[in-house]
Amino acid sequence: MDKRLKVLVLSGGCSAEHEVSLNSAKSVVEALDKEKYEVIAVIISPEGEWSLAHKSSSLAPVAGQVVTPSLNRMPRGLLLLANESKRGFEPFIQGIDLVFPVLHGPYGEDGTIQGFCEIADLPYVGAGVLASAVGMDKGYMKIILREAGLPVVDFLTFKLTEWRASSLQIAEEIEKSLGYPVFVKPAALGSSIGISKANARQELVDAVAEAGLYQEKILVEKAIDCRELECGVLGDEEPEASVLAEIIPGHEFYDYETKYSDELVNIHIPASLPATITGEVQRLSIKAFKAIGASGMARVDFFLENGTNKIYLNEINTIPGFTATSVYPKLWEASGIPYSRLLDRLIELAIERHKKKAHYRTQRT
């Protein structure tokens, strides 16, 4: 009898980070130990269509293998995928043991897929619904982190409807409270998509227009002269922090092109820093992880201000990039956990968390 866990790897998604997700998922599918896991790869198209994928380096949709997800809590751990045929919808794949979401951005990293798994009563890798939603929306994230006593850069958020009605007043408030330069970005998007640096009023207007192509809610934060650091967190109730990375972008800041081009960025792992700074960043990473209620994994990004060595927490990512060369896996490799073992550990954590939840009542008796 096949005792392997049946793992559903979800990738793609209805997000501007669709291609980034596919690249991450390719690495995950290839690295999962096939003696331990029966891997089922599904790609969600930008339009929301689910398709089985070739489990090869291409990870392309299989022609004619469009599937429809169907939720069923009984028996436990069942996710039914139905394949449309001449006879209608038939059982196609069932008995999924665990979902591994490799979805970046909205409709994947923001609690939506996590809620889907909760309804299906399936264990899944990574943070739960609330932590995922908070981690996705940088405005709420920074409010919660600040309330927890973590140092964040000064910021403002607003909606495009507010900007259209009162752009002059909002611009003046930004200039008064933050000053120039500032970074402008969609509040709930990753991979540095839609981000711009503004040094004057017209650049601010243009930056809001660029960010507004992606989302309604806009985040503006004060720019500081700094070094950029990243730390990985792994675990659940007793999370651990990895060694640190220093990101040295070839462009003025760590934009999308720089982030995904080896020629435009230098990543130093471990970062060359005094032990006191390394230890403090690791401590703050774990504190941030706990503050939003994260579990499984997260990458926490920091600014180290030049001249003062003041540490600012930039953001926490609950589904970081997961290619073999992405920062999060490389941080743990440098910390003694190779890529395949990291995937094993994330799956173990997901199963452990799901088992704990099973002990709690869902009905009054």
pLDDT in tens, the chain (365 residues): 468 999 999 999 888 888 989 999 999 999 999 999 999 999 999 998 888 887 665 677 777 677 767 666 655 545 555 555 545 545 556 678 999 999 998 888 999 999 989 988 889 999 999 999 999 999 999 999 999 999 999 999 999 999 999 999 999 999 999 999 999 999 988 657 889 999 999 999 999 999 999 989 999 999 999 999 999 999 999 999 999 999 997 655 544 444 444 566 799 999 999 999 999 999 999 999 999 999 999 999 999 999 999 999 999 999 999 987 899 999 999 999 999 999 999 999 999 999 988 776 666 66
- Delimiting residues of CATH 3.30.470.20 domain(s) in the chain: 135-151+225-355
Q: Is 23 a catalytic residue?
A: no
Place of tokens 């069942």: 78
Quick check: 220 and 184 in contact, CB under 8 A?
yes
Q: Which of 191, 242, 295, 326 is catalytic?
A: 191
Secondary structure (DSSP) of 199-245: SSHHHHHHHHHHHTTT-SEEEEEE---EEEEEEEEEESSS-EEEEEE
- pTM for this entry: 0.89
Q: Which of 15, 23, 317, 326 is catalytic?
A: 317
Q: Is 72 a catalytic residue?
A: no
Residue 337 to residue 345: CA distance in whole angstroms: 9
Nearest alpha-carbon partner for 130 in 116, 112, 111, 143? 111
Q: Is 321 a catalytic residue?
A: yes
The CATH class for the domain spanning 5-124 reads: alpha beta
Q: Which of 12, 194, 232, 321 is catalytic?
A: 321
Q: Is 314 a catalytic residue?
A: no
Q: Which of 110, 210, 228, 301 is catalytic?
A: 301
Q: Is 353 a catalytic residue?
A: no
Q: Which of 221, 230, 299, 333 is catalytic?
A: 299
Q: Which of 121, 230, 315, 333 is catalytic?
A: 315
Q: Is 266 a catalytic residue?
A: no
Residue 161 to residue 228: CA distance in whole angstroms: 33
Q: Is 139 a catalytic residue?
A: no
Other CB atoms closer than 10 Å to residue 186's CB: what's the count?
Answer: 23
Q: Which of 38, 140, 260, 309 is catalytic?
A: 260
Quick check: 159 and 218 in contact, CB under 8 A?
yes
Q: Is 109 a catalytic residue?
A: no
- Delimiting residues of CATH 3.40.50.20 domain(s) in the chain: 5-124
Q: What is the DSSP letter of 53?
A: E
Domain 155-222 sits in which CATH superfamily?
ATP-grasp fold, A domain (3.30.1490.20)
Residue 218 to residue 216: CA distance in whole angstroms: 6
- Delimiting residues of CATH 3.30.1490.20 domain(s) in the chain: 155-222
pLDDT at residue 364, as a whole number:
67
What dotted CATH number matches 135-151+225-355?
Answer: 3.30.470.20
Q: Which of 11, 13, 15, 17 is catalytic?
A: 17
